[in-house]
Structure formats: C-alpha cells, structure tokens
A and B are shown apart, each in its own frame.
Chain A
Amino acid sequence: MRRTAVCAAALLLAVSPAGAHLVSTGMGPVYDGMSHFLLSPPSLAPLLGLALWTGLRGPDHGRWALFTATGAWSCGSVLGLALAPPGVAASLSTAAMCLILGILAAADFEAPIVLTVVLAALIGLLDGAMSAAAAGTAAGLAAIVGSSAAVFALMALTASSIVPLRLLWLRIAVRVTGSWLAALGLLLMGWAIRARAHLPWAAFR
C-alpha cells in the first residue's frame, strides 16, 4: 500500500505544466523528448485524429500512416529546430489539422492509400516542426529520437485498437470522437482569429 502511495505521489508530482520548452524528466534527452510530446495536447491531437481515421479505414491505411507519419515527424522535427516557425503558425496549423482529420474520421471517408500517405507525411512534417520549435533549442537529436518513438507507439496503439472494431456502435463511437476533434479544430481556429493581434493581417485592420 505504501509503495502504491509513493508511486501515486511520484506520478502526480511528475505532472508538470506544458510550456514552450522541453520537459525535463531528469532521465536524459530521449525521455525528455518523449515526455514533451506526450504532455503536449497540441502535438497529440492531430496524430490521434490521423490514427482514428486510418484505423477506421483498415490495416493497410494504418500501416502506411504509421510509418510515414513517424518518418515525417522526425524530418519535421529537424526542420523545426532549424527554422523555428512562429507560434501563430503553430496554433493555426494545429486547428486546421484537427478540423480536416476530424471531418475525415467523422465521415469515415474512403480514400486511396496515396491520399493517406500524403496526409500522413504533411501532418507528420507540420506537427513535428511545431513540436520541435516549441521544445526549443534544448531539443537535440536524442530528444527527437524519443519523441519519434512516442509518436510511433501512440499511433500504433491507437490505430491497432480501432482496426479490429466490427460492432457498429463501436465504430460510431470512434466517428463521434472524430466529430469532437473537428469541433475542437474549429473552436481553436476561432480562438486564433479572436487573438488577431497576433495574426499577420492584424496590421492591415
């Protein structure tokens, strides 16, 4: 019992605010990269949407999306470290990705594998770049390895748990989750436009 209480206390203490910097776990850069990804909802949401949609579409789509998105995430993270895209681009792109993937999952949209691969590559690149830019210069290559491993694990677990679903109401539950994700994207877009002082076209108003 005491051991469980100590574990619970350690877990609760480990929950830190998601900031615009790399999460420090004290276990090295690989785990820091993993933690940064897993504790950053803006990075998680689009990839979960991709896993939901490709999981509904079947094992072929799931496999292609898994490997493409993970590879693209790694490349995007390297690019993000080098280019450091602005924060407004991050919020708008997260909103757009959530909206598009949420609609695809809610509609259970049938697409060719080529489209799945292209979307997975785009989302991996964008999301990886934004995540690495948010993590800052402290995120080295080791942190990118950690975050890529977390991306792979998250997508594999999510998609593989959706692929075998055959019961209608379970598939509908996944589609409802997709519609929630799309609604989230739309609201995030509203938030970004509301804070238009940070938008590029604010100077022209």
Chain B
Amino acid sequence: MRGRIDPRSTPPGRTRPRITPVSWILTLGYASCAQAHILAGETIGFWSGFRHPVSGLDHIVAMVSVGLWGAQLGKPAIWALPVTFPLVMAVGGFLGLVGVPLPGVEIGIAASAILLGAAVLCEARPPLPLAAALVGVFAIFHGYAHGAELPPGDSALLYSLGFIVATGLLHGCGITVGLMHRWPWGRRLLRVTGAGVLATGSMFLWKAL
C-alpha cells in the first residue's frame, strides 16, 4: 500500500475547502425562481423585498436609531420596541397598499429621523407608553411610504417577508450598536451618532419642504 496516493487526501500545508452550513443556506437562499417570461413588476421574491428598506438612507437612519434609543432606554423598551414596531409599520404599509390618503408622509419620515436623533442625542427617557406611541406614529409614516411604493408583481408573500426581515435586522443593528451604552465612551459615541441622525433628518426635511 506504500506509495499509493489517496485521491481524497490533501497535499501537506493545504487545507481542504469546506462547504459550511451557512454557505449552503446562503447559496440556496440566493437561488431564484426560474421564470420563462418577462416579469410584470419588481415584486419577484425575497431579495427584492429585502433590498427595498435598505435602499433609502432616511429609512435606514430612522430604523437604526429606533434600536439605538431602545438600547439607551434599556429593559423593557429594548425588546418592546422591536416587537411592536414591525406590526405598527405593517399597519402603515396596509394603509399605503389599499390607497388610503395620508398627507405629509415625507415630512413625517424626516421628522422621525430628527426626533429620534434628538432623543438619542439627549438620552431622553420618557415613560415607555409615550416612547412606544412616538415610535409607533413614525412607524406608520415609514410603513405607508413603502406600502404606497410597492410595485405589483408575482410574489407578494416573499417580497413582504424580505421587506419585514430587512427592517427587523436594521433594528437589530441599532440595538447591537446601542449596547455600547454600558461604557462611558460608548455613551458619548451614541450621543454623537444621535447628532448625526438628527443632521441627516434635517437634510431630508429641507428636501421635503
């Protein structure tokens, strides 16, 4: 047997490439439906829905700052806000989808970034119901804007799922970053981030007006 080379063996100094479960899942998740015709709209699957919320800076800063503020407020706001926000945002999305008129949506979105940024900057600590109501009102504006923009297409369920998961992950990013609140330098950095969100919101408000 000496001298025979096992074809499955790897030369010394080299590691065999491994396909991990994560890469399997990513590969399978990337696979899209084969379509033998031209699509009527953009609502074609999970990834198109996933890309929608992360394509607008105004939405990104507002969602992330919800997580930042929740982390500053601590328990129970840190988990109550991510549980309630998608639901209230979906109410706004529902209103947008069915065509209920809601004036001043762009102004409301810009105002959400301004007020949420100011809350993070000042480390505001209102009672939980007030904070939840404030965030809820803004969630309706964000959801409405997306609901009114959603194009007709083939897979409403997968598109909506991608849209919701992306929004939830933006909250998760905010909460994760906001956990630095436990350190003194982290608190200062969070307040600076809040000032950045406030400035971005002001820019969008300027544009909206």
Residue numbers of A with Cβ under 8 A of B are: 1, 4, 8, 11-12, 15-18, 41-42, 45, 94, 103, 106, 169, 172, 175-176, 179-180, 182-184, 186-191, 193-195
Contact = CB atoms under 8 A, between A and B. Distances in A.
B164 A190 contact: no
A170 B96 CA distance: 33
B99 A194 contact: yes
B42 to A, nearest CB: 14
B111 interface: no
Interface-centre pick from B84, B87, B91 (highest chain A CB count, 10 A): B87
Interface-centre pick from B28, B91, B93, B97 (highest chain A CB count, 10 A): B97
A8 B19 CA distance: 10
8 contacts: A8-B19, A106-B87, A179-B84, A180-B165, A182-B86, A186-B90, A190-B98, A195-B152
B99 A184 contact: no
Given A11-B28, A15-B28, A184 B161 contact: yes
Contacts, number: 98
B97 A193 contact: yes
B200 to A, nearest CB: 25
Nearest to A182: B87
Contacts of A175: 79, 83
B40 interface: no
Interface string B67-96: 000000000000100111011011101111
Q: How large is the interface on B (under 10, 10 to 19, 20 to 34, 35 or more residues)?
A: 35 or more
Contacts of A169: 79
B94 A187 contact: yes
B94 A189 contact: yes
Contacts of A190: 93-98, 147
B33 A17 contact: yes
B157 A45 contact: yes
A12 B28 contact: yes
Contacts of A94: 157
Interface-centre pick from B86, B93, B158, B165 (highest chain A CB count, 10 A): B86
Nearest to B49: A187
Nearest to A12: B31
B165 A194 contact: no
Contacts of A193: 97-98
Given A4-B19, A175-B83, A190-B98, A183 B28 contact: no
